[in-house]
Chain A
Amino acid sequence: KQEVTQIPAALSVPEGENLVLNCSFTDSAIYNLQWFRQDPGKGLTSLLLIQSSQREQTSGRLNASLDKSSGRSTLYIAASQPGDSATYLCAVSTSYGKLTFGQGTILTVHP
């Protein structure tokens, strides 16, 4: 059974810092890995999707890497801003239709 773990569970940083969120998964037979953002009372917004054949994806200040063999991914956020405050979720796809999520990292960026 696929299990996804995210570390840390919560993170508080001052504005402007670069930060790294970690995700690990137990079954390396994945199709892809996605990072989502969730704001309170809202649905999930997809940030980056990395196919199993890829090593990283970048979007603006976000960079996600994937090491499938070791079952790890990191989300790097550069020059953090208060608007980045949210819960960040990592999810892997091991079969069509089904995403397995981690518990999330609650990020707070204070001015």
Chain B
Amino acid sequence: GAGVSQSPSNKVTEKGKDVELRCDPISGHTALYWYRQSLGQGLEFLIYFQGNSAPDKSGLPSDRFSAERTGGSVSTLTIQRTQQEDSAVYLCASSLEAEIAGGPDTQYFGPGTRLTVL
């Protein structure tokens, strides 16, 4: 079956604009995760969803960042009033469940969206 897909693959925006990044998880996967990969910080966890709820949003760097998931499938990550430090690759992953057999389930990653804020 198809893997995790993300759109757009590249996004260039001007400082101060809002952007929306989209993630389509693997069909049937109930858990969805967002990460950010930047040169200075490496790969950092942002938020994860189990179904439509977000048990852990501890990695969101500021209140300019928000994410939602509806219908237990597609998720959007929204960044308001973008800043240059938001430039990064935003990676999405999904897993069948967040927890399986007493431990975390394997996460499958999409190709990412490269965001450039000018």
How many Å lie between the Cα of A104 and that of B56 in the bound state? Answer: 24
Please choose the segment from B14-22, B64-72, B75-83, B100-108 that sits at the chain A interface, where 4 or more of its residues have CB less than 8 A away: B100-108
Determine if B103 and A42 form an interchain contact, defined as CB atoms under 8 angstroms apart: no
Give the interface SS of chain A, mostly helix, strand, loop or mixed: strand
Residues of the A chain whose Cβ atoms lie less than 8 Å from the Cβ of B45? 97-100
Known: A43-B111, A96-B55, A98-B56. A31 touches B104 (CB 8 A): yes
- Name the interface residues of B14-67: CB closer than 8 Å to any CB of A: 31, 33, 35, 42-45, 48, 50, 55-56, 58-59
A to B contact number (C-beta, < 8 Å): 64
B91 close to A97 (CB less than 8 A): no
- CB nearest neighbor in A for B91: A43
Shortest B51–chain A CB gap in Å is 12
Residues of B within 8 A of A89 (CB): 43
Q: Which of B85-99 contact A (CB under 8 A)?
A: 91, 93, 98-99
Q: Are the C-beta atoms of A97 and B55 separated by less than 8 Å?
A: yes
Residue of A36, A96, A102 with highest tally of chain B CB at under 10 A: A96
Bound: A96/B58 CA distance, A: 12
- Main DSSP-derived SS at the B contact region: strand
CB-CB nearest in chain B for A4: B42
Q: Is the CB of A96 within 8 A of B111?
A: no
Contact with B along A76-109 (1 / 0, CB 8 A): 0000000000000101010111111111100000
Chain B positions near chain A (C-beta within 8 angstroms): 4, 31, 33, 35, 42-45, 48, 50, 55-56, 58-59, 91, 93, 98-99, 103-104, 106-112
Q: Could you list 22 A-B pairs, sorted by A, with CB under 8 Å?
A: A31-B103, A31-B104, A41-B111, A43-B91, A43-B111, A44-B93, A46-B106, A46-B107, A46-B108, A49-B106, A89-B43, A93-B103, A93-B104, A96-B55, A96-B56, A97-B33, A97-B45, A97-B50, A101-B42, A102-B42, A103-B42, A104-B42
Residues of A with Cβ closer than 8 Å to B?
31-32, 34, 36, 41-46, 49, 51-52, 89, 91, 93, 95-104
